[in-house]
Chain A
Amino acid sequence: MSTTTTSSQTIVRSATTGEPVTTTARRNRLGIWLCIVSDATGTVALLISYVYLWSLNVNSAWAPPKDRFAPDLPFWLIVAGVVLAAAAMWWGVHGMGKGDRWQLILASALSSIIVLVTFVGQIVQLSTFPFAITEGAYASATFWLAIGTAIHLSVVLFLTVAIMNRTRVGLFTQNNHSHVRLVAMWMTWVCVAVLLGAVVTTTMKVSPNTNSPTFGTFSD
């Protein structure tokens, strides 16, 4: 990105297309919204799977052996981590809007650290679930919601590190920091996705269907 000066105002232009970066920013914003829509459909597919299997309790095999459901606290700690990271990034966006580059560096660094810690926490949770992924529908659905969160977090980690690095080398300015806002938008969506996952996994454990259908095994 570079700047050219006209008689009345400074227009920041894309080095590759020559368009004003405000134009490319609008385009990128729509692109991110569409990515969120697509990712939301995938997330909804996972949530539908969880809720559907929970409500059906096929062959009374929803719950893991001995009803060893996952503890609630780790889910909410991960939600807290993602929300904190997103809040830090928005704080950085706000600072950059006022021209404070150091605030964005600090915010993105803080955000990266929080996301990294949360990501490690997610891996720890995955490896310490009191059941294996093979132990029933609850175990499978919970594992995949957690895996989905881990994938989201790894993408967010890449983005926050990139923002920190690009801010550090001076690629964002007060007039040209749309990428930061887009990353913050994406992180906000990830908060929603992780929150929805936490809500279903912590509030829908024992299936309400005590008269569960028996479908046979399809193995004969």
Chain B
Amino acid sequence: MSTDVILTTDIHEQMGVPQPRQRGKAGGFLRHTNVLTGSALGIILSVVTYAIGSKLVPWGTQNEDYSQVGLNALVGATYVAWVIGFMIGIGAFAGPVRWMMGHDITHDDSEYLAGKGQGKWKYWKYTTDHKVVGLQYLVMALVLLGFGGFFAMLIRTELGVTWSEVFDPNFYNSIVGTHGIVMIIAMIIVIAGPLGNFIMPLMIGARDMAFPRLNALSFWLLFAAVPPLLSNLLLGGIRDGWTVYQPLGTQAPIGMIGYQICIITFAFSTGIAGVNLITTIVTMRARGMTWNRVPIFVIGILAAAIMGLVWFPMFQYSQVLAFSDKVVGSSFFIPQEGGSVWLYENLFWLLGHPEVYVILVPAMAGLLELMVVFLRKPLFSYKVAVAGIAGIVGLSSVVWVHHMYLTGWAPSAGYPFMLSTELISIPFGFLVLVMLGTMWRGKVWSRLPMMTVYAVLWCNIIGGITGVYLSDVPVDQYMHGSMFVVAHFHFMLMGVGLFGAIGTITYWFPKMTGKMLNERIGSIGFWVAFFGFQVTFGSMFIAGLQGQPRRVLQFDNAFEISNWISTIGAYTIGVGMLIFLYAIITSWRIGTIAPANPWGSKTLEWQTETPVPLDNFPVLPVVTSDPYGYGVPDPYDAIERKMTDENVKVGA
């Protein structure tokens, strides 16, 4: 991929373009808004709503289904007030109001909004620059993973020894549910958020995302969604697992409303992000970047965005209707009033399963992207990889019923969905085969990102094969609801998703932060976590095969050893992750300055300088070849030598 000077008049004429009248200082109202004003207004509005609402709504009365409609309405209104207040306070509505008033923004306004001249303060504001948004997503993902991981430690502490009660059973159930949904959200955003926003526009040679203000909106909506979710633990908790099947959700304590508001808000965030990512990839690629020259990671992000855009509203509406049942007493999911619990399960799993691929596809595509760099070989069959991703996108929408084999809903649908679920292993297998084919007879440059490829391949095999078993109706009748299922989906979501995220973030860390990751400490953390992961979930497979049910606080003595081993493994993961986090934080703060292209990669994001300038490229690149034109014999010595010449101590 070359970066010739282009014959464009587009961007660099912008200063010569006549501007709308500048009203006040650049940035206008948004000069005065930040996360503090947002939080303050959100808290004030929610307190006021609660105070007024508690005077108006008679609460404490209980419905036939044990739900307290008055209190629920009050808490629901308070959460909604938080989200609206926060978004007003951060300045999210300033742009639309300004547009309606006919006050178009100027180039200076635009640059101010992108964070120009604001230093580190820009990370706390409604900043539109895709690189800022990408780093905001990265930190948010790490924070959520921290919370989710902490809850996982609590769960394993409780399950370490049988017949003990470290926690109250209701609290235990709450941390199980909260761990699940926090981790799901974290895994959805951990690649598509930071790398989809920071790296993807650079990879396609764009100046920014298609809709920069929507980009900021998607992040801050996510930010606003998190406090209601975490606050559930103070309000009775989510005791029904991350799926929150109905009518348990309606009968649950008021903490459930925090979950519902979080999902509704997060779905808006995801939908907006999906619109932005797809539009950027389709319309803003550099000249010459035809579809067969688009890096495979970009294709992976595109696939995830499409699946999220199409299916997330189903999940959102499952929660809108559940919120309605809980808060105003409607009856979508309450059988005695004509509702159906199957309706909830269908709406939920229509996203619930594609969401797995929203997590996995960017991880796999990211690893394919980086492994060609560390093998110095072209990708083995780019078209097969694209076909695999396309097949996953298509089939992901017709597999959801495998989560419902035992619910009693349409038993005759079990076998067609068994077939479709088994079929989806074929396009997913394409991605694994492309990985193996690319490795074939390759000479590996053994760096940490490449190590994660091996780890993910291993987890893919274990998680994939056990998944094929579970997709079979007869096997699922035995395994369903057991620890075997828990081990399976952790092998996929954590083994592939999270370790894949570690690989991709490690690979692009120099471009995003301007620093080299301390690979020695990072590798220790990664391998410790990987070892702990195998111990934890390998042992959990055994417990599941022995018949231990999931979501149960106490268990039979027969499962004691395997649970004890799992708990030891979980603590090991925790230690490994803390070491890895230490490597990230210290490298980001005081690490070695990274050169523009430390890996000798050919894709566009590495061709611009580091730190990346505000408008990304001095001139927009023109692409004249595919991104994987490697093939120089034995290039590693040259790269290592070049890096030594530049006094870069990689891995120091």
**Which chain A residues have a beta carbon within 8 Å of chain B's beta carbons?**
1-4, 13-20, 23, 26-27, 30-31, 34-35, 37-39, 41-42, 45-46, 48-49, 52-53, 56-62, 133-134, 136-141, 143-144, 158, 161-162, 165-166, 168-169, 171, 215-219
* Selected contact of B330 from candidates A39, A143, A218, CB within 8 Å: A143
1/0 per residue B259-283: CB within 8 Å of A? 0000000000001001110110011
1/0 per residue B307-329: CB within 8 Å of A? 00111111011101100110011
Query: In whole angstroms, how far apart are the Cα atoms of A62 and B20 in the complex?
Result: 57
* Complex interface: chain A residues within 8 A of B271 (CB): 38
* Selected contact of B247 from candidates A14, A41, A218, CB within 8 Å: A218
Contact B335 A217 (CB under 8 A): yes
Query: In whole angstroms, how far apart are the Cα atoms of A133 and B337 in the complex?
Result: 11
Contact B279 A49 (CB under 8 A): no
Task: Find the B residue at minimum CB distance from A219.
Answer: B65
Among B19, B282, B339, residue most surrounded by chain A Cβ atoms (within 10 Å): B339
B581 within 8 A of A: no
8 closest A-B pairs (Cβ-Cβ)? A18-B14, A137-B338, A61-B338, A140-B330, A45-B317, A42-B313, A162-B100, A2-B18
1/0 per residue B331-363: CB within 8 Å of A? 110111111110100110000000000000000
Contact A137 B337 (CB under 8 A): yes
| 6 contacts across the A-B interface (CB closer than 8 A) | A31-B211, A41-B310, A49-B347, A61-B335, A136-B338, A161-B100
* Complex interface: chain B residues within 8 A of A57 (CB): 338
* Complex interface: chain A residues within 8 A of B13 (CB): 4, 13, 18
B631 within 8 A of A: no
**Given A15-B107, A31-B275; A133-B313 close (CB under 8 Å):** no
Contact B11 A137 (CB under 8 A): no
* Selected contact of B340 from candidates A13, A58, A144, CB within 8 Å: A58
B232: min CB distance to chain A, Å: 22
Contact A15 B310 (CB under 8 A): no
* Selected contact of B17 from candidates A4, A30, A138, CB within 8 Å: A4
B24 within 8 A of A: no
* Selected contact of A61 from candidates B16, B99, B275, B331, CB within 8 Å: B331
* Complex interface: chain B residues within 8 A of A137 (CB): 331-332, 337-340
* Complex interface: chain A residues within 8 A of B99 (CB): 162, 166
B210 within 8 A of A: yes
Query: In whole angstroms, how far apart are the Cα atoms of A38 and B314 in the complex?
Result: 10
B106 within 8 A of A: yes
What is the interface size of chain B, counting residues whose CB is below 8 A from a CB of the partner? 67
Contact B330 A144 (CB under 8 A): yes
B207: min CB distance to chain A, Å: 7
* Selected contact of B329 from candidates A41, A134, A161, CB within 8 Å: A134
Contact A158 B100 (CB under 8 A): yes
The main secondary structure of chain A at its interface with chain B is helix
**Given A2-B17, A16-B106, A16-B110; A141-B332 close (CB under 8 Å):** yes
Query: In whole angstroms, how far apart are the Cα atoms of A216 and B100 in the complex?
Result: 52
B109: min CB distance to chain A, Å: 8
Task: Find the B residue at minimum CB distance from A55.
Answer: B340
Contact A17 B207 (CB under 8 A): yes
Task: Find the B residue at minimum CB distance from A132.
Answer: B329
A36: min CB distance to chain B, Å: 10
A35: min CB distance to chain B, Å: 6
Query: In whole angstroms, how far apart are the Cα atoms of A30 and B163 in the complex?
Result: 58
* Selected contact of A45 from candidates B247, B313, B328, CB within 8 Å: B313
A214: min CB distance to chain B, Å: 8
Contact B279 A30 (CB under 8 A): yes
* Complex interface: chain B residues within 8 A of A42 (CB): 313-314, 316-317
Interface contacts beyond A3-B18, A217-B65: sample of 15 additional A-B pairs, CB < 8 Å, sorted by A: A13-B13, A13-B14, A15-B107, A18-B107, A34-B309, A37-B309, A38-B275, A49-B317, A52-B343, A52-B346, A140-B330, A166-B102, A216-B335, A217-B64, A218-B334
* Complex interface: chain A residues within 8 A of B275 (CB): 31, 34-35, 38
Query: In whole angstroms, how far apart are the Cα atoms of A141 and B346 in the complex?
Result: 16
Query: In whole angstroms, how far apart are the Cα atoms of A119 and B276 in the complex?
Result: 30
* Complex interface: chain B residues within 8 A of A41 (CB): 310-314
B116 within 8 A of A: no
Among B282, B328, B332, residue most surrounded by chain A Cβ atoms (within 10 Å): B332
B264: min CB distance to chain A, Å: 11
**Given A42-B313, A136-B337, A215-B335; A34-B329 close (CB under 8 Å):** no
**Given A27-B284, A41-B314, A42-B313; A4-B11 close (CB under 8 Å):** no
Query: In whole angstroms, how far apart are the Cα atoms of A45 and B350 in the complex?
Result: 10
* Complex interface: chain B residues within 8 A of A17 (CB): 10-11, 14, 110, 207
Contact A165 B102 (CB under 8 A): yes
B649: min CB distance to chain A, Å: 40
Query: In whole angstroms, how far apart are the Cα atoms of A165 and B331 in the complex?
Result: 42
B66 within 8 A of A: yes
Query: In whole angstroms, how far apart are the Cα atoms of A46 and B311 in the complex?
Result: 14
* Selected contact of B105 from candidates A16, A45, A141, A169, CB within 8 Å: A16
Contact A219 B64 (CB under 8 A): yes
* Complex interface: chain A residues within 8 A of B282 (CB): 30
Contact B338 A45 (CB under 8 A): no
* Complex interface: chain A residues within 8 A of B640 (CB): none
B104 within 8 A of A: yes
Task: Find the B residue at minimum CB distance from A3.
Answer: B18
Contact B347 A171 (CB under 8 A): no
* Complex interface: chain A residues within 8 A of B317 (CB): 42, 45-46, 49
Contact A16 B107 (CB under 8 A): yes
B175: min CB distance to chain A, Å: 25
Task: Find the B residue at minimum CB distance from A56.
Answer: B340
B12 within 8 A of A: yes
Task: Find the A residue at minimum CB distance from B63.
Answer: A134
Contact B16 A4 (CB under 8 A): yes
